[in-house]
Amino acid sequence: MKKRTLIACIVLVLLLLLGTLAWRVASRGVAAAAPAAPAQAAPSDTLRYPPGAEQLSYLDIEPAAALAAPALDALPGKLAFDEDRTVRVASPVLGRVSELVAQPGSAVKAGDVLAWLDSPDFAQARADARKAQADFALKRKALDRTQALTELGVLARKDQESAEDDLAQAKAELERADSVLKNLDPSGGSARYALRAPIAGIVVDRTINPGMQVRPDATAPLFVITDPTRLWVSFELAEQDLGKVHVGQAVRVDVDGFADRHFDGRVSLIGAALDPATRRIGVRVALTDGDAALKPELFARVSPLADDAGKQVAVPNSALVSIGLHHYAFVEESPGVLRRRELELGVVGEQHAFVLAGIRPGERVVTRGAVLLNAELGQAE
């Protein structure tokens, strides 16, 4: 392992030396190609290049964006389904899958059929309901006859009371059987059991295939349905930062897959107790993603925002050049004119640094190649 690390360090140093050598060669070539009339003396913190200079091809220059100021450094988090809008569908009956309707990625409405099952349990429930209905009709006729005979004095009063009791029991059994059948299939229009979607959403997972036997006591869900535009982001907060985060606080979420986008959410839950092993507390953020670009299980960077969060200039960390305790960035003041400015930094995160002074929103900042510019400026000095 130490040998591999040493080799990697040597390769990195060689690449850096080659890049610096290429930069110096390009600088000399431009100086030899366009020395006709010397330009005005530039300040010691400014570099000037003619249009089309090769050095400019090594640079990325982007406008500085203004973002809401964070309350603390970005924290690692992970996206997950919003469990308040997610359903894991299981079969309440024993049966065999005869037909699949919904596929992963399909949009469904509440009540849509996901799959058809051939189920002896469902067939028994239908038979029980029909039997209870027939028995209820029979007991009603018996009561009508008993009432007529009682009025004629042929039967005793107790016979009528017994018939009324039989009808009440038949009614109770009919209500029970109908309730069981309606819970299994509200439509009641098919001999096969229809496994239906309980909510509207997107089918994100399916674990059954045609012909597969399903059981009501299975541990794995048959389908998972969720609203993909609503997600949770979970992260852990150190105990010393607990006072900087509260329920309802605005949060900015960034993911590597969408480097040019920021997603907004709010803290929905803070855990009730610290983890004694890590001395951290779990925090959950409710996130709305209108175009469903984000996916569960993605890793994210979570930045809780200050309650009075004003806009601050944010630049990539690659734009920063540190000299001692001071931080600088190169700003394009006009085409080909790059000035090194000293910055006053606020929060410095994993990807971006927030600038309190030194750069205004919209100014064009060198985001790649700042180290090379600083080296050339040092040679000029």
Q: List, for the chain, all residue ranges whose pLDDT scores fall below the cut of 50.
A: 1-2, 29-41
Residue 161 carries which DSSP code?
A: H
Which H or E run includes 138? helix 120-151
pLDDT for res 18? 60
Domain 75-82+229-304 has CATH 2.40.50.140: no
Domain 86-226 has CATH 2.40.50.100: yes
Dump pLDDT digits (tens) for 288-336. 888 888 999 999 999 888 876 677 888 888 888 888 888 999 998 888 8
Look up residue 312 and give its two tokens: 């601050």
Rounded to whole angstroms, how far apart are CA atoms 317 and 349?
A: 8
Contact assessment for residue 79 and residue 232, using Cβ atoms and an 8 Å cutoff: yes
Dump pLDDT digits (tens) for 244-299. 899 998 898 989 888 778 898 999 999 998 999 999 999 999 998 888 889 999 99
Contact assessment for residue 244 and residue 303, using Cβ atoms and an 8 Å cutoff: no
The residues, ordered by sequence, that sit 6+ positions from 252 with a Cβ below 8 Å of its Cβ are 67, 68, 70, 262, 263, 264, 265, 302, 303, 305
Look up residue 21 and give its two tokens: 């050598």
Percent of the chain whose predicted confidence (pLDDT) is above 90: 22
Q: What is the CATH T-level fold of the domain 42-67+311-381, as seen in this structure?
A: 2.40.420
Q: Domain segments of the chain: what residues?
A: 42-67+311-381, 75-82+229-304, 86-226
pLDDT for res 184? 74
C-alpha neighbours within 13 Å on the C-beta side of residue 103:
0
pLDDT for res 136? 84
Q: Which 3 state secondary structure label does DSSP give 115? A: strand
The residues, ordered by sequence, that sit 6+ positions from 253 with a Cβ below 8 Å of its Cβ are 77, 233, 262, 263, 264, 265, 285, 287, 300, 301, 302, 303
Rounded to whole angstroms, how far apart are CA atoms 150 and 370?
A: 107
Rounded to whole angstroms, how far apart are CA atoms 158 and 16?
A: 107
